[in-house]
Structure 1
Amino acid sequence: MILLFRLYSWLYRHRVPVLPRLLYGLNRILFAVVLPPGVVVGTGVRFAYSGLGTVVHARARIGNHVKIGPNVTIGGRAGLHAVPVIEEGADIGAGACVLGPVVIGRNAVVGACAVVLHDVPAGAMAVGVPATVKQREMEPCRAPTSV
């Protein structure tokens, strides 16, 4: 799925006339993913279940090493021109909606089925409908005990 996207995105950027649109349609039929050729997708991005049910806005930007679950919507909102920016290392859970001029910070986590309408700072977690931001608590490292 992502290799097919990279191919038709490259063709689109090099102004090849019809082929990118046909490959986009093929990707949509085979994998049930709406991933237009204008989307900026970084390296190491993983779409769970080959992007099954995922919809991404044509102007969205997705950074490097992002994990996106199935049935995720990354899109705009009525009356607002800006669209989401997903920064490096973010993790978006299954069924989540990221809508409007939202920035998901580096290594942030969006919980499953969350509806994100506001920015999520780097390293934070957004959960709920509408999503509220929680700071992730990291468990302290403990040295192994010997017996």
Structure 2
Amino acid sequence: MIYIFRLSSLLHRLRVPFLPWILKVLNRILFSVALPPSVKVGRNVTFGYQGLGIVVHRHAVLGSNIVIAPNVVIGGRGRPGAPVIGDDVLIGAGACVLGPIAIGKGARIGANAVVLTDVPPGATVVGAPARMIED
């Protein structure tokens, strides 16, 4: 899954027509992941269960060493902008990270959390809407 995305992203940056989007559709069919070639993805990003049910906004930025569990949505809220996820972040199963927000380095997002505001580095957020908890 990630290799198809990386090839698609490379072709997108080289401005090759159609082929990046065909590879995106192939990823969608084979792995049920919506990961457009325009997404910026860092190193060592792990998509749980090969990306099953994960949807990522086309302008999102994902840092390095991120773990994203299945059925996560990283998307917009109908206005310009998309989430920016920092390095070393853990996103639990079914979580929604929505809007032009920033998730700080080392943050943890609980399962099924709905994150609508910025999350500071190292924080843990849970719930709908997400709120910080003490570790």
Q: TM-score, normalised by structure 2?
A: 0.98
Range that drifts further, 17-26 or 87-96: 17-26
Match runs of 1:46-125 below 5 Å: 46-78=46-78, 80-125=79-124
Tell whether 2:28 aligns with 1:28: yes
Letter in 1 for 2:123: A
CA distance in 2, matches of 1:20, 1:135: 43
Unaligned runs of 5+ in 1: 137-147
Per-residue CA deviation, residues 80-125 of structure 1 (Å, 9 max, x unaligned), is: 2111000000000000000001111101000000000011110000
Deviation at 1:18, TM superposition (A): 1.9
CA distance in 2, matches of 1:87, 1:105: 5
Range that drifts further, 14-23 or 123-132: 14-23
Superposed structure 1 runs of 4+ greater than 3 Å apart: none
CA distance in 2, matches of 1:98, 1:23: 25
Letter in 2 for 1:109: R
Cα RMSD of the aligned pairs, angstroms, is 0.7
Letter in 1 for 2:94: G
Tell whether 2:11 aligns with 1:11: yes
Deviation at 1:5, TM superposition (A): 0.1
Q: Percent identity?
A: 57
Greater CA radius of gyration, 1 or 2?
Answer: 1
CA distance in 2, matches of 1:131, 1:18: 38
